[in-house]
């Protein structure tokens, strides 16, 4: 197939959500608490639907299982990646995700390593990224006694920042932050702390203390990033991370830029601007902010013309 798969985003209501997904990207919201846009997803909790071409109306999961050639016959029973946009109108719960071994054993699905590109952040906005415990015993003691200020590591963030969040990392996105998240296709989250918030029924949300202690990396270790920016004709390409699970790039395009595939398929999200995607067969497709699509294995070369900011990702070496 020499045609991109344009996808219908799935919007998820969250207790901490807001209206920026409408204000920034123009998505139609059914609630003022929409916190997540599952932009490119084959996960059963929010599968994207193909909007164009011969596979129109199929979910991405169906296309993956029925037409593996579109993805270079990549290994794995499930589409391995999930792209989200998160609008944190309030602080998210403090949480941690398992690795694949723990996730498959205890939850029946992949673990979750993820990464964040900060689309926007209010002045002074913070994330929680890591912890200060030196041993499992100290982690348990600090959680039990509620020493959250001493335990949790807070970092101020700005628009354009990037964070790699491997499984086992205690983390939380703070209020006033919008991010694009690239992650493994998993919805397993262990809540460590939720600020004693109550849901719409007045109940405290469930915590997962034992699982959190089981999977947290102790002591916390910041992953080493090798962020690299290269200038090509009419495009600045920033490589944020190349990992076992995913490779993530930013394309800042001003004019007509040519690209060659570096992986069996490429996930593309337009964060700003407008332009068009052109293929070697002469076909072209309009691009505007909030559009998400996959370039399948049959598309080896393409060009994008316009002024656009794009986050693109490809499967990492474990998923090819």
**Closest to 28 (Cα-Cα) out of 11, 15, 43, 40:** 11
Q: Which of 153, 154, 191, 320 is catalytic?
A: 191
220 is in an annotated binding site: no
Helix, strand, coil percentages (3-state) for the chain, rounded to 5, are 15, 45, 40
- How many angstroms separate the Cα of 54 from the Cα of each of 2, 3, 68, 80? 11, 9, 15, 23
Tokens found for residue 227: 């962020």
Q: Is 53 helix (H, G, I), strand (E, B) or coil?
A: helix
Give the list of residues 6+ apart from residue 268 with CB closer than 8 angstroms, or none: 4, 292, 293, 294, 295, 310, 311, 312
The rounded distance, in Å, linking the Cα atoms of 319 and 314 is 9
Task: Establish whether 43 is an annotated binding residue.
Answer: no
Query: Is 106 marked as binding a ligand?
Result: no
191 is an active site residue: yes
137 CB-near residues (< 8 Å, 6+ apart): none
Query: Which residues are annotated as catalytic?
Result: 191
Annotated binding site: 97, 114, 171
Annotated binding site for Zn(2+): 97, 114, 171
């Amino acid at each position: 197939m020499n045609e991109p798969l344009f996808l219908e985003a799935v919007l998820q209501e969250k207790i901490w959500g807001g209206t920026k997904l409408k204000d920034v990207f123009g998505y139609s919201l059914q609630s003022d608490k929409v916190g997540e846009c599952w932009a490119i997803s084959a996960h059963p909790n929010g599968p994207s639907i193909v909007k164009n071409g011969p596979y129109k109306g199929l979910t991405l999961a169906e296309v993956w299982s029925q037409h593996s050639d579109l993805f270079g016959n990549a290994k794995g029973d499930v589409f391995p990646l999930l792209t989200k946009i998160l609008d944190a109108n309030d602080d998210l719960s403090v949480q941690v995700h398992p690795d694949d071994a723990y996730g498959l054993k205890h939850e029946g699905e992949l673990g979750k390593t993820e990464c964040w590109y900060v689309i926007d952040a209010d002045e002074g906005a913070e994330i929680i990224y890591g912890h200060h415990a030196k041993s499992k015993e100290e982690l348990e003691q600090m959680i039990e006694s509620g020493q959250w200020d001493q335990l949790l590591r807070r970092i101020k963030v700005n628009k354009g920042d990037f964070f790699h969040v491997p499984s086992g990392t205690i983390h939380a996105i703070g209020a006033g932050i919008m991010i694009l998240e690239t992650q493994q296709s998993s919805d397993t989250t262990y809540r460590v702390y939720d600020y004693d918030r109550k849901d719409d029924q007045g109940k405290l949300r469930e915590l997962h203390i034992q699982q959190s202690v089981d999977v947290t990396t102790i002591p916390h270790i910041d992953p080493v990033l090798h962020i690299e920016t290269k200038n090509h004709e009419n495009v600045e390409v920033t490589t944020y991370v190349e990992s076992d699970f995913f490779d993530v790039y930013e394309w800042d395009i001003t004019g007509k830029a040519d690209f060659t595939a570096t992986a069996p398929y490429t996930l593309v999200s337009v964060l700003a601007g407008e332009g068009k995607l052109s293929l070697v067969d002469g076909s072209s497709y309009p691009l505007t902010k909030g559009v998400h699509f996959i370039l399948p294995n049959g598309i080896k070369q393409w060009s994008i013309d316009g002024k656009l900011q794009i986050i693109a990702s490809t499967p990492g070496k474990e998923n090819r």
